[in-house]
Amino acid sequence: MHGPVEVDAHMTEKLYDLKQLKEILGGNSEFLTSLACIYLTTIPVNTKEIIQAITKEDWPRVSKLAHKIKPTIDSMNIKCITSDIRTLETDAKNRVNTETLEKIAVKVDTVVNTVAQQLRYEFNL
């Protein structure tokens, strides 16, 4: 039986690549599954917090949160937002181009949530 999320996640091209993590972990699938669970419980929450912080113009918080999730974006090779997460971190820190940050944060949030769906599908979570 296929639910809509399962079909969507299966049909969409994967936005992440775990090759790098698999090499580091030496094929430890249990650990990879636990990393997927950590992603699901933290990263989507963090991107929502970034959007909320932008709404409040709390630029230090935006920068801090972007910095916090950057290693996850990099290690999971989520290429379509690697530069966006850096822009959020740097521009918020320097308080430049702040009017564009919400649009960038919404894109990052959308990608992060799509990756979450795809991870749920891949790891049966």
At a CB cut-off of 8 Å and minimum separation 6, what does 117 contact? Answer: 5, 8, 9
Which of 19-28, 43-52, 68-77, 95-104 has the weakest average pLDDT?
19-28
Q: Which amino acid is at 85?
A: I
The CATH architecture one would assign to domain 15-123 is Up-down Bundle (1.20)
What is the pTM assigned to this prediction?
A: 0.89
Q: Over 60: is that where the pLDDT of 22 sits?
A: yes
What is the domain partition of the chain in residue ranges? 15-123
Tens of pLDDT, residue by residue over 27-54, are 788 999 999 999 999 999 999 999 999 9
